[in-house]
Amino acid sequence: MGLIAKVVVGVLAITFMTFVAFFGRLPALRHTPIAWLYRAIWVYIPNGILAVDQALTGGRIISSAGTFGHYVWYGRHPTVLIFYILLLSVSEFLYLPGAWPRMSRFHQVVGAIAIILPYIFLYLAAFSDPGVVTAATHARYMSLYPYDFTLFHPGQQCRTCHVLKPPRSKHCAVCKRCVARLDHHCVFINNCVGYGNQHWFLLLLLSTALLTTYGGALGLSMISENARARSSIFSLWKHPQQSWHHYFILLTYGIQSDVGVGSVTLLVVMTSPLVWGLLGYHAYLIYCGTTTNESMKWQDWQVEMDDGFAFRRRLPIPRNRHPKFEASWTRWPVEPAQILVRTVDGEQPNDTSLPGEGSWERVWHLRDIENIYDIGFWDNLVDIFVPNHSFRVEAQSDLERGKRNRKTKA
């Protein structure tokens, strides 16, 4: 196997594993081979090793290394974060010696900024408080959002932290703490992505996407320039008079002329779409007014609706809040107008303690349920990038907000 073939295989392997790590847990890919491979790596293979050890040694090997193994697979450690930093740093170390002298002063300045920004945003995303719910911060996070009586209901207590769960919060099994508006736990920053650092995480994605795109474009231009030194008709878009065989010979020559620039260019060209895709996915979640965690909950509700087990009825507006379980005031401009519950037998709920008024109505589609956390793309964005921003405080009736249903694309 030649040098270029080895580089291509290595780049493809890194790209594929990055894709699986990025997208394996997304709800949209839940029933795809990518999700299966993600589960195989993180669930099936470890469980298989446990089963083999149990059958052959009675579990002695895993037991002797149990603490370390559990830490590696399920604990919070910086292994992937270090790998990510090394991937950035080593790529730049290979790329810059050959590329920097050939760059104009403008590109050197822009390139330096593009290189520095991901490290800054990585530090801020990794070491900022994601919104950990403690006794000192509990009241603050309770006042951020109202309970929607669909995904989040008042009175639920975290069984691990033993605190009343604020709306949109979730307990992170890796960090072992509750986080306000938890999106997901990200192994690339070794931290949760939540209310306190989601803006830094998004800026990290954006700066990384711009860096890979910019570096890839410059690298391709240099590869093309190297190839044109052998044939003046070469271009990245194959010339009609040029055979594919001749085209790939020249392309290989262009890459081999500077292996550092060529290999890193191949890497960023293949990984850049993944970073843009992940950024686009999170932009879409912002558009829908939801998080990764909440999108999974919505998918679960769709399953209940398909089975005919989901029911809703009206909530009065204004509504009397339960002083023991709810904040007396939130900064959010929208109050829930309905409650959604599931039953185990497909019959209407008969629990008289459930809030709401009127008769229960079976729900078949997500579009019939309002997502009160979606207040429009711009305000959703402000909620992320301007922490503690005070929105309109008056509760809107269902009629005033135009029966704002949840975006069914989420």
Q: Average model confidence (pLDDT) for the chain?
A: 85
Stretch 30-46: mean pLDDT, rounded?
Answer: 74
Rounded Cα distance between 269 and 388, Å, is 38
| CA contacts within 13 A on the Cβ side of 337 | 20
At residue 175, φ and ψ (nearest 5 deg) are -80, -15
Give the pLDDT confidence of 169-210 residue by residue, as tens digits. Answer: 999 988 999 999 999 999 899 999 999 999 999 999 999 999
Task: Give the Å distances, CA to CA, from 194 to 18, 24, 168, 178.
Answer: 22, 20, 10, 10
Both tokens of 207, joined, read: 């700066």
Stretch 48-75: mean pLDDT, rounded?
Answer: 66
Residues in Cβ contact with 271 at an 8 Å cutoff, skipping those fewer than 6 apart: 14, 15, 18, 212
Both tokens of 377, joined, read: 């793309």
The answer to whether residues 259 and 3 touch, using CB atoms and an 8 Å cutoff, is: yes
Nearest to 141 by CA among 172, 173, 180: 180
Nearest to 388 by CA among 157, 143, 184: 143
Task: Write out 380-400 in H/E/C secondary structure.
Answer: HHHHHHCCCCCCCCCCECCCC
For the sheet with 357-362, list strands across it.
338-342, 310-314, 357-362
Nearest to 354 by CA among 66, 154, 187, 175: 154
Neighbours of 253 (CB within 10 A): 18
Give the pLDDT confidence of 269-307 residue by residue, as tens digits. Answer: 988 998 999 999 999 999 999 999 999 999 899 999 999
The answer to whether residues 253 and 230 touch, using CB atoms and an 8 Å cutoff, is: yes
Rounded Cα distance between 115 and 120, Å, is 10
Nearest to 43 by CA among 18, 25, 59: 25
State the helix-helix crossing angle for 259-288 and 292-306, rounded to 10 degrees. Answer: 60
Rounded Cα distance between 384 and 375, Å, is 12
At residue 342, φ and ψ (nearest 5 deg) are -115, 150
Give the pLDDT confidence of 62-113 residue by residue, as tens digits. Answer: 666 655 555 555 567 788 899 899 999 999 999 999 999 999 999 999 999 9
pTM, to two decimals = 0.83
The pLDDT value recorded for residue 98 is 93
Active site residue 172: no
Neighbours of 335 (CB within 10 A): 23
Q: What percent of the chain has a predicted confidence (pLDDT) above 70?
A: 85
The pLDDT value recorded for residue 65 is 60
Partners of 172 in the β-ladder = 177
Both tokens of 116, joined, read: 């520095």
Neighbours of 95 (CB within 10 A): 25
Which one is catalytic: 172, 175, 178, 186? 186
